[in-house]
């Protein structure tokens, strides 16, 4: 009988001094491809990193047994949920609006340069990558600077590298985050191909769209691995009762114009590429919009115009809160009326701030807190921390929290000033099913007071029910505008 690929026995793991996995055991046999699911913070990512040798094993043992007869690299390759890239000097201290600065593109590598470095490092053949690039719709981005990629495109770059490498054991942490419908389908096909070539898979995900080669299912509950069936993996979501919204967030939103956003023949180009083409779109006060489109369709750029982060707003016929951009309003006057969450904002946020400081910074639209907010705002932060179930984390640093808790913190930050418009760009990335369901019910409650909403989400099962209209982008153009009756 052959040795198991992974054998874990009596493994104990603490995360920032708190026990996460206790006397943990797991056997991954050859030809088994696992789905590992469970609540945010249950230890899935820490376990994956331990198997990949990225964090030390202090108690217990983890043994990896590669197949000596395989032609694939004898290695465990872990693809993180979070993608971190560096500039040409090896630094990664970017800021949120920097991707729209044409000057910065000369300091960051292009996609093709990044792939060339990766290919040389791992002795890979370039004739094997084109099929992967085509399947993920990534071939046209070869010459794009890394800093100008959207969150979904960064995720694709991670996946391209992993699929090109074809290690003997591939661990993918939340691989579907940020991927559009077609990309998810094609990615599952690529996973089936690498599995047929000999790569074993461990997927960390709470999604239901899985490759056919996944044949074992488990979740971590209270520090212990419990094997489950295919059917059981989505049955444990307990519907939470949404508590009354804090009083300071239930006030009717005051508006100064009948339309919040008005775009007339808006065009955006950078690095020689036209990203938005003749966009005409009007968002009236109180509207609830779903914004969709395949990765790279222009969604992030469109939202950056509304949020005041894109400098080309001034060169277009574009109105915000009834005023034409560039007629005297400051960026901070715009931002005080907008609540924003996006994967990019999360990337660039100050992770060294505490949960309390991070939420309070929402009053000032800053990354981190640099002043005393005063007694009233202090009480509102505490109330919202309690509302989101973050009390035990309030004095913890953001970078000490599991990703799902970080995202909940930023969601609280987004709504704390009761903004006139909420821009929620894939707000539930990193949340488990229960957190996602609860958050979308919260969005429904918050929007009862007249808040305007623009919501970006690729998963049709993870949307708030208050959405009324949908705008679909394709290749930078408006493909359709319609009531919420159809899905892509």
> Residue 200: CA atoms inside 13 Å, Cβ hemisphere, count?
22
pLDDT for res 106: 52
**Of the candidates 79, 55, 23, 30, which has an alpha carbon nearest to the alpha carbon of residue 225?**
23
Which residue do the tokens 């520090």 mark? Answer: 223
DSSP assignment string, 306-317 = HTT--GGGGGSE
The label of the residue with tokens 């074992």 reads 216
The set of residues, in sequence order, having a beta carbon less than 8 Å from that of 16 and lying 6+ positions away, is 396, 400
Q: What are phi and psi of 10, to 5 degrees?
A: 50, 40
State the pairing for strand pair 76-79/169-173.
parallel
Ranges of residues in the chain whose predicted pLDDT is under 50: 87-98, 102-105, 235, 486-488
Instruction: Give the pLDDT confidence score for residue 271 in this predicted structure.
Output: 66
**Residues 325 and 318: beta-carbon distance below 8 Å:** yes
State the pairing for strand pair 323-324/477-483.
unpaired
Total residues found in the chain within this entry: 488
Q: Residue 445 burial by CB count (10 A; 0-12/13-18/19+): exposed, middle or buried?
A: middle
| The predicted structure's pLDDT at residue 233 | 59
| Local structure of 39: helix, strand or coil | coil
d(CA 436, CA 108): 34
Q: Which residues pair with 318 in a beta bridge?
A: 263
pLDDT on residue 17: 74
3-state SS, residue 407: helix
CATH number of the domain at 247-483, out of 3.30.930.10, 3.40.50.300, 1.10.3720.10, 3.40.50.150?
3.40.50.300
**pLDDT attached to residue 90:** 46
For the chain, give every domain's residue range: 6-234, 247-483
Residue 167: its pLDDT value, please?
Answer: 98
Displacement of CA 154 from its chain's centroid (Å): 10
Please give the backbone phi and psi of residue 393, each rounded to the nearest 5 degrees, phi first: -105, 0
Give ∠ CA 403-233-197 in degrees, rounded to 5: 85
Strands (E) located in 57-148: 59-64, 76-79
- Which residues is 24 bridged to in the sheet? 11
Residue 426, Ramachandran bin (φ over 0: left; ψ between -120 and 50: alpha; else beta): left
What number of other Cβ atoms are within 10 A of residue 88's Cβ? 10
| pLDDT at residue 89, rounded to an integer | 45
The contacts of residue 258 (CB under 8 Å, 6+ apart) are 284, 285, 322
- Measured CA to CA, the distance from residue 80 to residue 82 in angstroms comes to 5
Distance CA 45, CA 13 (A): 12
Q: Which of 181, 207, 208, 209 is nearest to 292 (CA)?
A: 181
The runs of H, that is alpha helices, within 447-479 are: none
Q: Rounded CA gap, 54 and 109, in Å?
A: 25
Determine whether 314 is exposed, middle or buried from the number of CB atoms within 10 Å of its CB (0-12, 13-18, 19+).
exposed
Q: Does domain 6-234 correspond to CATH entry 3.40.50.300?
A: yes
The two three-digit tokens of residue 400, written as one number: 């000490």
264, two tokens: 């007339």
Rounded Cα distance, 352 and 396, in Å = 9
């Amino acid at each position: 009988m052959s040795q198991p690929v992974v054998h874990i026995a009596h493994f104990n793991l603490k995360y920032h001094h708190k026990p996460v996995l206790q006397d943990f055991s797991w056997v991954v046999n050859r030809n088994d491809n696992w789905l590992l699911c469970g609540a945010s913070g249950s230890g899935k990512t820490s376990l994956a990193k331990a198997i990949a040798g990225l964090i030390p094993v202090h108690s217990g043992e983890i043994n990896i047994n590669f197949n000596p007869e395989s032609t694939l690299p004898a290695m465990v390759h872990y693809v993180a949920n979070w993608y971190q890239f560096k500039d040409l000097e090896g630094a990664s201290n970017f800021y949120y609006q920097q991707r729209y600065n044409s000057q910065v593109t000369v300091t960051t590598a292009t996609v093709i340069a990044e792939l060339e470095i990766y290919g040389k490092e791992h002795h890979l053949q370039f004739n094997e990558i084109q099929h992967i690039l085509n399947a993920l719709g990534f071939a046209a981005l070869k010459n794009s600077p890394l800093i100008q990629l959207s969150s979904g495109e960064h995720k694709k770059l991670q996946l391209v590298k992993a699929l090109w490498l074809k290690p003997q054991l591939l661990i993918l942490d939340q691989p579907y985050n940020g991927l559009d419908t077609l990309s998810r389908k094609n990615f599952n096909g690529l996973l089936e191909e690498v599995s047929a070539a000999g790569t074993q898979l461990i997927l960390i995900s709470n999604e239901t769209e899985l490759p056919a080669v996944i044949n074992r299912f488990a979740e971590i509950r209270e520090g212990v691995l419990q094997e489950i069936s295919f059917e059981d993996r989505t049955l444990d979501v307990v519907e939470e009762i949404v508590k009354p919204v804090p009083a300071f967030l239930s006030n009717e939103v005051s508006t100064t114009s009948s339309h919040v956003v008005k775009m007339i023949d808006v065009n955006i180009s950078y690095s020689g590429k036209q990203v938005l083409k003749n966009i005409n779109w009007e968002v009236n006060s109180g509207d609830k919009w779903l914004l969709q489109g395949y990765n790279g369709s222009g969604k992030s750029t469109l939202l950056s115009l509304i949020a005041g982060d894109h400098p080309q707003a001034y060169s277009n016929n574009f109105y915000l809160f009834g005023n034409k951009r560039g007629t005297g309003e400051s960026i901070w006057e715009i931002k005080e009326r907008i609540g924003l969450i996006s994967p990019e904002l999360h990337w660039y946020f100050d992770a060294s701030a505490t949960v309390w400081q991070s939420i309070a910074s929402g009053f000032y639209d800053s990354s981190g807190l640099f002043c005393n907010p005063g007694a009233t705002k202090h009480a509102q932060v505490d109330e919202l921390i309690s509302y989101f179930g973050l009390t035990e984390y309030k004095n913890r640093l953001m970078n000490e929290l599991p990703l799902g808790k970080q995202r909940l913190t930023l969601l609280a930050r987004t709504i704390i000033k009761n903004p006139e418009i909420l821009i929620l760009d894939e707000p539930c990335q990193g949340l488990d099913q229960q957190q996602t369901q609860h958050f979308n019910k919260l969005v429904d409650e918050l929007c009862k007071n007249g808040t305007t909403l623009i919501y970006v989400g690729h998963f049709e099962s993870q949307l708030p029910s208050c959405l009324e209209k949908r705008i679909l982008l394709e290749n930078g153009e408006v493909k359709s505008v319609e009531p919420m009756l159809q899905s892509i």
